Amino acid sequence: MTGPLSGIRVLELAIWQQGAVAAMLLADMSADVVKVEGPDSPDPGRWFGGTHQPANSYFETNNHNKRSAVIDLKHPDGRATFCRLVSSTDVFVTNLRSGALERLGLTYTELSALNPRLIYGHGTGFGAAGPDAEAGAFDVIAQARSGMMWTNGTPDGQPLLVGAPIADQVGGLLLAWGILVAVIHAERTGEGQLVNSSILAGQMFAQGFQINNFLFSGAQRPRPHHSNVQPLWSSYRAGDGKWFVIATPHPQRWWPRFCQIIEQPELEQDPDDGDIVAHPENYSRAFQRLQGVFATRPRQEWLDRFRAADLPCSPAADYAELVADPQVLANDLIVDYKHPSGEYRLVASPVALSRTPAAIDRPAPEFGQHTEEVLLENGFDWDEIERLRDSRAIGPRGDGVQPPEAAII
């Protein structure tokens, strides 16, 4: 089946996650993505977690459906080879710092001169301008600077890291979205352009309502805690030790019915302050009383009761529960994944298209696996390829790929 981005050619020069995720999202929709790595500078993500091939879950997650070409961009012939590929590509994706791209001669100005239709997607830490445009950034740095860790912390404690790398993931998603918008514009006008997205901007976008609320009111929202979160918008531990969440933005409307559902009609009217959910000063006490009630029955019984009453609720699942969730499986959010080393399962594309669905057709590439193949497709002949290989402008070195020290995390 022809995918929605079939025919779109992408060159990726990215490491770790943000840029690699953006290119992966395009590859899942059938764009032809060639991941370019230097012979002495492979993507450190190949070793994240201290593991390498045959199947590194981090690298497979971010780089499936791609091909790999090893080109030495510091070698004059290697850079010329890369520029020749640029002249016939649609999209260039990178998350290298601007200074590194300038030293390599791979800025937007330089590459767009070779290909005016080129979409140049640049994922950055803090944006293209400003005093920290060249500063390094990882996921935790963007979570911290954006306020995400602050708002995730306990009321009087330290800011807390969100457990998943949401800065990198959201940053990659938004970079891919910007690239696709630019591709549509290029199809209509023939004009390429520079697309910039930062992981700082992505974290601010993810907190849009909270930040805008501060801009409107000047008031900081209190950090979430059972003492300041209304009782029908919180998590509880059931009698079997399993956690669940209930959520309604209309607690006063729901409270009388809720008390009947949990068979505690005496809670409907608080003896001290009337409607218990009408007064934030009562939230902590209400939370403690409800926790005592929920400890008397197993989680599934509470969930069944709430669902029967159409009260929004959910198990607070760990990953073992998540990957077995019938809703996850019914929507193909986990798919079978074939790798040369064996059969695995993998998180699927988050977007479902009815006529041209995303697909995961190939594993993440081995280092330099498709170098010759890519060059042949772009007009190089075998004599040129042999010359480039002999000059060490392309292909892995004879001693094989070695992990950068920083990659062993």
Residues 6+ apart with CB under 8 A from 193: 119, 120, 182, 185, 186
318 and 367 within one domain? no
Q: Is 111 within the bounds of a domain?
A: yes
Q: Which residues contact 329 (CB under 8 A, 6 or more apart)?
A: none
User: From its phi and psi, is residue 317 left (phi > 0), alpha (psi between -120 and 50) or beta?
Assistant: beta
- Domain membership of residue 108 (yes or no) is yes
Statement to judge: residues 72 and 169 lie in one domain: yes
Residue 1 domain flag: no
Same domain, 58 and 134: yes
Do the Cβ atoms of 190 and 117 come closer than 8 Å?
A: yes
Tell me: do 200 and 135 sit in the same domain: yes
Q: Verify that 88 and 178 share a domain, yes or no.
A: yes
Q: Looking at residue 406, what is its pLDDT?
A: 44
Instruction: Report phi then psi at 182, rounded to 5.
Output: -70, -35
CA dihedral 56, 57, 61, 66 (to 10 degrees): 20
List residues with catalytic annotation: 168
Residues 60 and 191 in one domain: yes
| Token code pair at residue 157 | 């404690």
Same domain, 204 and 246: no
Question: How far is the C-alpha of 6 from the C-alpha of 199, rounded, in Å?
Answer: 28
Q: Walk along the chain (409 residues) in steps of 10 and give the mean pLDDT of each run.
A: 91 97 98 97 86 79 97 97 97 96 97 98 96 92 95 84 94 98 97 97 96 93 72 94 94 90 83 66 86 97 97 95 95 93 92 93 94 97 97 83 50
CA distance 206 to 221: 16
Within a domain: 237: yes
Identify the CATH number of the domain in which residue 369 sits.
3.40.50.10540
Whether residue 253 is found in the same domain as residue 199? no
Last residue of a domain, one of 307, 322, 337: 322
> Which residues span the domain enclosing 243?
233-322
- Judge if 33 and 126 occupy the same domain: yes
Number of domains in the chain: 2
Tell me if 223 is assigned to some domain.
no
If asked whether residues 281 and 181 sit together in one domain, one would say: no
- Is the domain of 237 the same as that of 200? no
Residue 333 lies in a domain: no
Residues 34, 138 share a domain: yes
What's the pLDDT score for residue 235?
93
CATH of the domain at 255: 3.30.1540.10
In a domain, 329, yes or no: no
Q: What pLDDT does 228 receive?
A: 65
pTM: 0.92
Q: Is residue 224 part of a domain?
A: no
